[in-house]
């Protein structure tokens, strides 16, 4: 098991638009395996490549620890493209491994249609709803340089500011490896 340090709010890579994957090779597969180890170690359900310092357009999801999703298979999403967003918007509290202990209500589409490549370089198109849609949209946001504070109202963002500052300064207790302040 190889654990990768997770980037935290304030790290520049989290604000970049990720670079598309050109080839699915052994290095990418190794990074995916390490990301699953890292995500599970941190009790996460999704992790984008830039959250472990990789400037690549892919993320992973594993909802098998969530009620009603126990039988769902882990998902590797390479070069994702959101094809459709439903007009039905749902607000739910979200957390993020790059924002330890911070939670905030985020509005997202209830249903989406997603196109991506799997690890066999096969194009997949899925319709996702509820938790899966939310996690996909959250991780997709990372790949376009957005995070929870960009998705909340100005009033909520102002309330979160002291927590965000603590995270940037690494002035928090975290029980998983994170990057050095940068």
Residue 174 counted as domain residue: no
Q: Evaluate whether residue 2 is within a structural domain.
A: no
pLDDT tens-place string over residues 130-158: 999 999 999 999 999 999 999 999 999 99
DSSP 8-class letter at 64: T
Domain holding 113, by residue range, is 12-168
Domain membership of residue 149 (yes or no) is yes
Determine the distance from the C-alpha atom of residue 99 to the mean position of all C-alpha atoms in its chain, rounded to a whole number.
11
Average pLDDT, the chain: 96
Residues 143/146/147/151 CA torsion (nearest 10 deg): -130
Res. 182: pLDDT tops 70: no
Active site residue 139: yes
Q: Are 115 and 130 contacting, i.e. CB atoms less than 8 angstroms apart? A: no
Across residues 83-111, what is the average pLDDT? 97
In a domain, residue 175? The reply is no
Instruction: Give me the number of domains the chain comprises.
Output: 1
The answer as to whether 176 is a domain residue is no
Q: Which residues pair with 124 in a beta bridge?
A: 116
pLDDT tens per residue, range 59-79: 999 999 998 999 999 999 999
CATH of the domain at 137: 3.90.45.10
Given the residues 94, 139, 163, 180, select the one marked as catalytic: 139
What's the whole-number mean pLDDT along residues 37-41? 97
């Amino acid at each position: 098991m190889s654990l990768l340090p997770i980037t935290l709010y304030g790290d520049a890579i989290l604000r970049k638009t990720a670079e598309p994957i050109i080839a699915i090779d052994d290095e990418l597969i190794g990074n995916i395996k390490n990301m699953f180890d890292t995500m599970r170690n941190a009790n996460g359900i999704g992790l984008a490549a830039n959250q472990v310092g990789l400037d690549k357009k892919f993320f992973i999801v594993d909802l098998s620890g969530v009620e009603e999703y126990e039988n769902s298979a882990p998902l590797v999403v390479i070069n994702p493209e959101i094809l459709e967003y439903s007009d039905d918007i749902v607000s739910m509290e979200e957390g993020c491994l790059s924002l330890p202990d911070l939670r905030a209500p985020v509005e997202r589409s209830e249903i989406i249609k997603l196109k991506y490549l799997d690890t066999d370089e096969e194009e997949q198109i899925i319709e996702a709803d509820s938790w899966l849609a939310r996690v996909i949209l959250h991780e997709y946001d990372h790949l376009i340089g957005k995070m929870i504070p960009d998705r909340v109202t100005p009033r909520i963002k102002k309330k979160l500011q002291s927590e965000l500052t603590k995270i940037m300064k690494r002035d928090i207790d975290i029980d998983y490896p994170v990057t050095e302040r940068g």
